[in-house]
Amino acid sequence: MARISSNTALRKKVSKELVKRVKRVVNNAYAPYSGISVGAALYCANGNIYTGCNIENSSYSLTTCAERVALFKAISEGERKFLLLLLYSPQVDSILPCGACLQVFSECAPEIIIATMNANNEFHFYPLQTLLTKPFKLSK
């Protein structure tokens, strides 16, 4: 995450852009069952940002979380280096990823920092390894 933290002006610009995008994409969430809308903005090493929102389904196992939507969009466009994931829900104070999302990120972005934001634009930052200390890995 050195590119973000080494330059204060860049960090502020990225932060403002991520906040703007996550607040916009949360409005696209489809959450008729939980009533909890979640937006995610994924910041890549090359400066690209990908967003996602949660998309629920009456068959709950087919629901997709915002963070995986953003990650899968980025991967489908060829991205492989991820620095920061920002999550926001207007209904939940500083929402964190579920176990399934943590597991997926542990394989695709093991060094990522996960930031949560509440309705007052207050942030908390978590290295992925602090949220998922022992990810599942296939032994080869």
Q: Is residue 139 part of a domain?
A: no
Here the tokens at position 110 are 């093991």
Residue 98 sits in a domain whose CATH number is: 3.40.140.10
**Residue 134 and residue 38: Cα distance in Å, rounded?**
25
Question: Of residues 17, 56, 67, 77, which has the active-site annotation?
Answer: 67
> What per-residue confidence (pLDDT) applies to 13?
63
Short-list 123, 57, 50, CA closest to 82 = 50
Here the tokens at position 18 are 């991520």
Q: Is residue 20 part of a domain?
A: yes
Task: Please compute the mean of the pLDDT values over residues 117-125 and round it to a whole number.
Answer: 91
pLDDT-derived band at 1 (thresholds 50, 70, 90) equals very low
Interval 69-118: pLDDT, tens: 999 999 999 999 999 999 999 999 999 999 999 999 999 999 999 999 99
* Cross-strand bridge partners of residue 137: none
> What per-residue confidence (pLDDT) applies to 7?
52
**Residue 13 and residue 80: Cα distance in Å, rounded?**
22
Residue matched to tokens 């939980």 = 34
Which structural domain range is residue 28 located in? Answer: 2-131
Counting the structural domains of the chain, the total is: 1
56 is annotated as an active-site residue: no
pLDDT over threshold 60, residue 121: yes
The β-bridge relationship of strands 82-88 and 113-117 is parallel
Q: Is residue 105 part of a domain?
A: yes
Interval 4-20: pLDDT, tens: 444 566 567 678 999 99
**Residue 59 and residue 108: Cα distance in Å, rounded?**
26
pTM for the whole thing?
0.90
Here the tokens at position 35 are 């009533």
> What per-residue confidence (pLDDT) applies to 126?
93
**Residue 75 and residue 112: Cα distance in Å, rounded?**
14
